[in-house]
Chains A and B, each alone.
Chain A
Amino acid sequence: MRVAYYKGCLASLSAKELDSSTQALAPRLGIELEELESVTCCGAGDIHEAEPDYYLHLNARILAYAEATGCETLMTICNVCTLNLRQANFQLQGDDALRVRVSENLEKVGAPPYGGTVEVKHLLWLIAEGDGYERLKQVAHKGLKGLKVAPFYGCQILRPSKLLGFEDPDRPWSLEAIIEACGGEPVDYPAKVKCCGFPIIQAREETALGELIQPVQQSIEAGADAMVTPCPLCHLSLDAWQSKLEAQTGQRFEMPILHLSQLVGVAAGLEDSELKFKRHVVSVEPVLEKLEAP
């Protein structure tokens, strides 16, 4: 399957490990990536809030470049990109007058117009069911050897379900299915569908940390060896801001946080240079040691 690949800003900048592991993993899962070069940030909900009409145009431009590749699917690797692009796509697909206006503007600045034919899908959805899932089971031969993994979905891959709609936002199953296919053991905890606080971690740190602590603490209580998330923003708060939680509570957490592509990548035997665990703030060493133990 050939897909247009939109990596978003974080995977180009502070989460390069997400991009390298995705690029290495995709061909093994039968996904051929057509990387989009002329695209910008989707705006992360911030441009939607600051200048919504500009948000719509930026996202339409991304969709238009994806359409120009001839692919039916635009693959994302970030929750926030997924929601932003799907929201714009639903608006443009469902309202011809709006799409015509936006397309005309795109053409005026030299970008392709958008015909409304692209579907936006997260990598998670491509490998959680159907052919992708079958391939995943074959590829994950190295296995996670019963590693206990806490799935953390994050908000914007689940809600609002009328825009995302892949699974029940209150009882999701996709990450669990993937953990199992990789030979790991999913652990359950209530905050797996809640917010990590990232969108307000700078403007309202205290409120954000009050949210962030819940999944971290609960997954530790549930006995997890590691957490996995499909979103680089969740990853950033769970991984990089964990030290702030430790400073605040005086507790040691040291909970390793894996990107989805890294978790599957470990099970599929990707190289260190592709997984790039050194780029994490919280060490992933304990997980790797556990997997190497006889």
Chain B
Amino acid sequence: MDVALKIWRYDPDSGERELRHFEVEAPEWACLLDVLDIVKDQVDGTLAYRKSCRMMICGSCGMRMDGRAVLACKERMKPIVERGHVPVVSAMGNMPVLKDLVVDMQPFWTKIRTMKPWLDTGYEEVPEHGEFIHSQEEMNPIHKEALCIMCGCCVSECNSMESDPEFFGPAALAKGFRFVGDPRDRTKIERLERYNDEHGIWDCTRCYFCNERCPKGVDPRDAIAKLGAESIRVGIDRDMGAKHAKWFVHSAKTTGWLRETELVPKTQGVAAAIKETKFALNLFKHGKVPLPFPPHVAKNVQEARALHELVGAQGRDGAAGIVQGERALARIEHTEHGGVQRDAPAVTPGEPTPHAEG
């Protein structure tokens, strides 16, 4: 098939950017990475990009196609060619471009390192009684986070990182939960303290670009929610983000609905709220700050209150509350067109998938 594509080139010596058009002959099964190889081989040997495994495991080939971060070795070109579309390929975002499609991953690695990305078991030598046996169930909570190949696709479009470049970001925080949720690690509290940094967990704006982009199903945003839930569970709730989240729980079980008026003082403290008086008065004028009395109470709110007590005693607090629902979410499969195949058959690991043939 004939593949046409445009590539944003960047020359670090001259500092010039240029959109170049290429057309090559490629086999039907070619992915974006194959096409780049053909371009480099036959048309322009100076084209720069990263690659290694060609099979979605090394995480080298992250780049943008039509503005979305992808693994070049995962994207099949045939459907794109059939649509008659000419995709635009460029370097990932939120990281400085070194040349063409190659970005400087140094800031990415620095943040990963901040997470202390290794197991801290609390002992140096194997204890006398020998090995520790862990069950599959104990390891299941970090199954998704352990799939990360550190490709950077999630970071590329992270909206909080665009606005605060020091934000730890989705990949690093997912790595963080990979250890916080590991039953062998003995430094959970120390880790959670560290991840509750100004640029940590509560800096995430829940844009869900990371979940959307991750080629391995890590769902970093969900990992961040798990870290938040674990922090609150163990009582690390000094951050305004944590206080904000806790106020929603309190509202739901007292009035059923968000007690909006008190949200600012409960989150930021009374002093900060007073500083905001002028701003708040203007909102008040337009009915944007409803009066706290009489509170707006949902019908049958005692059910919500009773649920809180009941559920609180069932031991699925913290991250476990999110992990318990993941099996169902993992069953939602994407169709070719990015849509959702709602009645996709269940897949059990180790068994051949129902649509293995054809």
Contact = CB atoms under 8 A, between A and B. Distances in A.
B203 A90 contact: no
B257 A9 contact: yes
Contacts of B289: 14
A10 B249 CA distance: 16
Contacts of B318: 52
Interface in A137-183: 155-156, 158-163, 165, 168-170
B209 interface: yes
A15 to B, nearest CB: 8
Q: Which of B67, B241, B296, B331 has the most C-beta atoms of chain A within 10 angstroms of its own C-beta?
A: B241
15 contacts: A14-B290, A38-B299, A44-B258, A52-B322, A90-B328, A90-B332, A155-B209, A156-B206, A161-B338, A165-B339, A202-B264, A207-B167, A208-B163, A244-B279, A278-B286
Contacts of A111: 300, 303, 307
Contacts of B160: 195, 200, 204, 207, 211
Given A13-B260, A47-B245, A236-B288, A109 B306 contact: yes
B107 to A, nearest CB: 17
Given A12-B296, A51-B321, A204 B312 contact: no
A12 B219 CA distance: 32
Interface in B239-286: 239-249, 251-252, 256-258, 260, 263-264, 267-268, 279, 282-283, 286
A57 interface: yes
Contacts of B288: 14, 236, 240, 279, 281
A211 B340 contact: no
Contact of A52 (B208, B225, B256, B328): B225
Q: Which of A92, A98, A160 has the most C-beta atoms of chain B within 10 angstroms of its own C-beta?
A: A160
A155 B248 contact: no
A94 B332 contact: yes
Interface string B220-246: 010001001100100000011111111
B310 A105 contact: yes
Nearest to B266: A202
Contact of A40 (B247, B301, B321, B334): B301
**Size band of the interface chain A makes with B:** 35 or more
Given A170-B68, A204-B203, A95 B228 contact: no
Contacts of A46: 244-245, 247-249
A53 B321 contact: yes
A207 B289 CA distance: 23
Contact of A203 (B219, B239, B301, B304): B239
A203 B59 CA distance: 33
B303 A211 contact: no
B68 A38 contact: no
Interface string A78-108: 0000000001101111110010000001101
A210 interface: yes
Contacts of B314: 53, 105
A155 B302 CA distance: 33
Contacts of A197: 159, 163, 205
Given A43-B252, A244-B279, A161 B321 contact: no
Contacts of A16: 287
B241 A162 contact: no
B307 A159 contact: no
Contact of B252 (A41, A92, A161, A165): A41
B202 interface: yes
A14 B208 CA distance: 25
Interface of B: 66-68, 159-160, 162-164, 167, 202-209, 211-212, 219, 221, 225, 228-229, 232, 239-249, 251-252, 256-258, 260, 263-264, 267-268, 279, 282-283, 286-290, 296, 298-304, 306-308, 310-312, 314, 316-322, 324-325, 327-329, 331-332, 334, 338-340, 342
A293 interface: no
Contact of B207 (A14, A43, A155, A168): A155
A108 B310 contact: yes
A93 B67 CA distance: 34
A54 B260 contact: no
B324 A98 contact: yes
Interface in A187-214: 194-195, 197, 199-200, 202-204, 206-208, 210-211
B205 A211 contact: yes
B163 to A, nearest CB: 3
A95 B303 contact: no
B307 A58 contact: yes
Given A14-B290, A202-B268, 18 more contacts: A14-B288, A37-B299, A53-B316, A58-B252, A91-B328, A94-B328, A95-B325, A105-B310, A155-B159, A155-B208, A159-B212, A160-B212, A195-B160, A202-B244, A206-B163, A210-B163, A211-B160, A211-B162
A2 interface: no
